[in-house]
Structure 1
């Protein structure tokens, strides 16, 4: 794989880190400065994919019911809501961002910033009116994630971070992290997790390996497959291209003619350029972190513009070798 072309292309972008692992070996490990290797990175909405993993584990353990269970089992106030359709919202709807709740993630009255300014985030989300029938369409909504975090804590009988330490962080060797909480002390489901880039890479490898770590299953392969499978078309605003699964994005990279082989991938993505890309066909995981706070579009294009073409060429060579 021609990794030099990747590092050359990334140099002017000033990312805080870029890590690429293939077949379990680090082939690119680039930091803005050496200090960033050990610093915690704000993962932003990559937090959603970690929450998804914990929900999958809880389902495997029988601590959470079937994903098609209505969330009224946890939030019985929905049964008393004037809009009877709210009682039909399920765990799956929350996971796939298809709850139907009226929401504008950034801006507008029913938004992520408005939620964070209220004294009770879960209550705020549950009070939002429906804009669509549950399951009808995707609307990106960190409020859905907060509902999931709260019900997960109730189901497992401990804080979300404690459950993560026991079932995910501990086995993966993640010792240093930070996770924010809402006013009720519930760990944030849609953002707020801080991790080292190397620990983000380990998480990506866990999903690449079907939920197993050093031969020990942490998540069942069936749950990993369902969580990272395309469930519904994503809303057509960057980075919302392709499809959405259970708090994971899914897409395909198709190079221009003669530019390599097409491949599928799934990824976690956080505002400002935090990302974990998993490419099963190449046994590859890519981690990107950035600290750009302005509305820069550079981070959105890094993978598809500078990394995916090199992976496509490598896959083409790999396919030729086995013919």
Structure 2
């Protein structure tokens, strides 16, 4: 793929979208960067639900270190009080079902009695999340749920013998050179698992690069390649309006010459030669336009951040609608 062509193409597409930042690296080299202003480059900002993918990474590290048991472990191992829950399915929910959002809880992420805003107004977020009744058979349906991410953060804290942020500093942020961050906590001092982390765009890019390199950073294996692969493979197909699949707190999708969703029409009908392949990618996603995309086949990582107010709707799906079709063309038609 020609990096010069990519830079030229993105320079036409990205600035008019008025994103806070856009960073693209190929084989570890930044080939395109755009910041709305100096503050966007130098100030940490909310990454919202991209926090979930950071929690996933820390859980993988703790599993590698033998501090957390394997993914099939039931939740009652961590919260023995669930054995007396009236629903016998609840104590059997597994760590993997929490990671893949398939625990089955009755949850409406953004509003209502069982939502993450309601959770944050309680005095014990983890208990609130655990007390929700089950709406689906565990393992069968993906329901986006920041309460589950808080449960995971609590499990992590229980087992690593320090705060989640201190653990991140030692085994993830430190090795990656991430020094500047802020991370919110719940009333029990558990760092927020589903949101609440502030980072620099360049540090999000390092995080994506770590995954592209299958957990290796400067010669050190921070996360085993086995768990990087397992956590970023499709586990369950997601329901509309979402697209693709979900892994361990990572979204997974592919592009095959067209991208269909609620907001876009097919770009073109793929030719026979194009149908022979597709671009697989996975990504961290945060509310309001925060993304980290990893495209292993192209050795490419893209970070997008935004900070638009509610009245100014940010462009939706910048990567699949605007960037991937260009990557596809460059990958398909270049030598």
User: Where on the TM-score scale, by shorter chain, does this alignment land: which range?
Assistant: over 0.9
> Does residue 139 of the first structure (1) align with residue 143 of the second (2)?
yes
CA 274–156 in structure 1, closer or farther in 2 if over 3 Å, else same: same
CA contact (8 A) 1:201 1:287 kept: yes
The whole-number CA distance in structure 1 between the counterparts of 2:56 and 2:121 is: 25
CA contact (8 A) 1:228 1:250 kept: yes
> Does residue 252 of the first structure (1) align with residue 254 of the second (2)?
yes
CA 30–244 in structure 1, closer or farther in 2 if over 3 Å, else same: same
The whole-number CA distance in structure 2 between the counterparts of 1:102 and 1:35 is: 40
1:244-323 aligned within 5 A: 244-255=246-257, 256=268, 257=270, 262-294=278-310, 298-318=314-334, 321=335
How far did residue 235 of structure 1 move? 2.3
What's 2:163 paired with? 159
1:1-323 aligned within 5 A: 1=2, 2=5, 3-237=7-241, 240-255=242-257, 256=268, 257=270, 262-294=278-310, 298-318=314-334, 321=335
**Runs (5+) with no aligned partner, structure 2:** 258-267
The whole-number CA distance in structure 2 between the counterparts of 1:6 and 1:29 is: 9
Give the 4+ runs in structure 1 shifted more than 6 A: none
The whole-number CA distance in structure 2 between the counterparts of 1:312 and 1:281 is: 11
What's 2:261 paired with? none
- Aligned-CA RMSD value: 1.4
The whole-number CA distance in structure 2 between the counterparts of 1:314 and 1:205 is: 21
Q: SS state of the match for residue 300, structure 1?
A: coil
Q: How many residues align?
A: 317
How far did residue 9 of structure 1 move? 1.6
Most deviating of 104-113 and 1-10: 1-10
